[in-house]
Amino acid sequence: MQSFDVLVIGGGPGGYVAAIRAAQLDFKTACCESNPYADPKGEPRLGGTCLNVGCIPSKALLHTSHLYEEAAHAFADQGIRVQGLAIDVPAMMQRKAGIVTQLTQGIKGLFRKNKVTLLPGHGQFLGREGESWQVRVGEETVLAKHVIVATGSKARHLPNLPVDNRIVCDNVGALELQAVPKRLVIVGAGVIGLEMGSVWRRLGSEVTILEALPDFLAAADADVAKEALSLFTKQGFKFQFGVTIEGAEVKGDGAILRYRDQEGKEQTLKADRVIVSVGRVPNTDGLGAEGVGLQVNERGQIVVDDHCCTNLPNVWAVGDVVRGPMLAHKAMEEGVMVAERIAGQAGHVNYDAIPWVIYTAPEIAWVGKTEAQLKAEGVEYRVGKIPFLANGRALGMGAPQGFVKMIACAKTDRILGVHIIGANASELIAEAVVALEFGAASEDIARICHAHPTLSEVMHEAALAVDRRALHF
């Protein structure tokens, strides 16, 4: 029977990073992966949701579709004439698949380099043997002193809207469409709905998004959500809020969706394709959690403390399968923390400084608290808000939409939150994350020299604006 110091169950961002870090710390480490993503060679594909059916393929399609939209609608403003522009969807999909293969194979290479043993197969707790855990992996049973559960999440489905990943798709099918659907209906105006909706809208789909809640992007700062709704509506998205999905009839190559609108009136909508993006659920299928008494809460999450310890000795859990935002970078940070804590080090995750990014155009990114959260907490604050319209680089790039909003404590000036909607927000937010992590004040950012002309100057101006001394607005 093979025996390891550390066995990681699941090879997504939480799992593969935990395995690499554990091996770096000289533990004899294995990672088991049972993923269902088809591999031409029939081997397990590492990288989990993120690499196979999440972050990476969606960003590849967002990039291609953004270039297409720029060529179709923005090049002319800059004197570039394009004739015979066309999108070759299978070629776009092939490029995406190539990137996914390159990265998933890359993780296998990293496993080899770091001497992590890859065990193909589904991991299931069997019980204890002395101080170790017995885990079945496929047909084999292995022993491990420490087990890190990183089994991730899967798409939540609605009982009255069965997903076939042909007409009615979750994230898996939405990333595999082989032609641009004329009418695309998206259920759920969250992150996936907006990103996948952007891909297909840019390529020519009429996109309608049906959202259950009365509000748009409730987790974002209200100013950002308002600006985003206005910009996305101008781009051609049709939104309906406060809807209740009643069902769908799939007929031939399309579907008719039945739902109640905000007033409770029955409505129908024809769709060539439907994407269901109503959140994700933690994945503990066949893990044997019950058998060994691993605590799982009513939301299906494995219960952990701030350091990702479960209720069982030497069993840890990280990533989407535990509390907190379902984000790849959060999963990776937790993976590193756990490996370091197993080694007796002080691994730590600052859950107050985890950035969020939505890769629409313009992009949306934030870190820290929103105004609404601070009001609810009774914290006094000051706000600096600067539009990209006041920035020379943004104008040169043809990207004047959006703003940077910095929120700082009224008493200490410590930065409490930064909210961006605008070009390259995904990269700009890194400065704000550093600021929050190190407890910086808005005055610190105001005193830092930012290169000219760059979009980062808008962050600088927002910091100056907190103290009512913006120079360029």
b or e along 404-427 (b: 16 or more beta carbons within 10 Å of the residue's beta carbon)?
A: bbbbbbeeebbbbbbbbbbbbbbe
Mask for 262-281, x = binds ligand NAI (CB under 6 A): ---------------xxxx-
Q: Which one, 319 or 384, has the nearer CB to ligand FAD? A: 319
The reply on whether position 13 binds ligand NAI by CB under 6 A is no
Query: What's the min distance (Å) between Cβ of 263 and ligand FAD?
Result: 32
The reply on whether position 331 binds ligand FAD by CB under 6 A is yes
* 214 CB burial (10 A radius; 0-12, 13-18, 19+): exposed
d(CA 59, CA 52): 12
The reply on whether position 152 binds ligand FAD by CB under 6 A is yes
Element (H, E) at 144: strand 140-149
Partner from ligand FAD, ligand NAI, none binding residue 275, C-beta < 5-8 Å depending on class: none
The reply on whether position 193 binds ligand FAD by CB under 6 A is no
The reply on whether position 461 binds ligand FAD by CB under 6 A is no
User: CA angle at residue 282 from 281 to 286, to 5 degrees?
Assistant: 120
The reply on whether position 211 binds ligand NAI by CB under 6 A is yes
The reply on whether position 171 binds ligand FAD by CB under 6 A is yes
**Would you state the structure tokens that stand for residue 314, as one six-digit string?**
């030497």
The reply on whether position 440 binds ligand FAD by CB under 6 A is no
Partner from ligand FAD, ligand NAI, none binding residue 331, C-beta < 5-8 Å depending on class: ligand FAD
The reply on whether position 175 binds ligand NAI by CB under 6 A is no
Q: Which of 81, 172, 119, 99 is nearest to 2 (CA)?
A: 119
Q: Which one, 158 or 448, has the nearer CB to ligand NAI? A: 158
Contact 48, 11 (CB under 8 A): yes
Q: Which of 456, 364, 454, 360 is nearest to 402 (CA)?
A: 364
Out of 29, 34, 134, 205, the residue judged to bind ligand FAD by CB under 6 A:
34
Q: What amino acid occupies position 40?
A: P
188: left (phi over 0), alpha (psi -120 to 50) or beta: left
Q: Which of 342, 345, 364 is nearest to 355 (CA)?
A: 364
Site for ligand NAI in 352-381 (CB under 6 A): 357-359
Enumerate the active-site residues.
452
Q: Which residues make beta-bridge pairs with 154? A: 281
Query: What's the min distance (Å) between Cβ of 189 and ligand FAD?
Result: 15
**Would you state the structure tokens that stand for residue 267, as one six-digit string?**
């409505």
The counts of H helices and E strands in the chain are: 14, 22
Q: Which of 374, 442, 362 is nearest to 221 (CA)?
A: 374
The reply on whether position 167 binds ligand NAI by CB under 6 A is no
Out of 7, 20, 22, 49, the residue judged to bind ligand FAD by CB under 6 A:
49
Q: Select from 49-57, 76-84, 229-237, 248-256 the region that touches ligand FAD (CB under 6 A).
A: 49-57
Query: What's the min distance (Å) between Cβ of 134 and ligand NAI?
Result: 33
Contacts of 468 (CB under 8 A, 6+ apart): none
Out of 327, 383, 455, 462, the residue judged to bind ligand FAD by CB under 6 A:
327
Q: Which one, 195 or 431, has the nearer CB to ligand NAI? A: 195
Query: What's the min distance (Å) between Cβ of 352 and ligand FAD?
Result: 17
Tell me whether the omega of the peptide bond preceding residue 453 falls within 30 degrees of 0, making it cis.
yes
Q: Which residues of this chain interact with ligand NAI, rule CB under 6 A?
A: 158, 187-193, 195, 210-213, 245, 277-280, 325-327, 357-359
Enumerate binding residues for ligand FAD (CB under 6 A): 9-15, 32-35, 48-50, 54-55, 58, 122-123, 150-153, 171, 192, 283, 286-287, 319-320, 326-329, 331
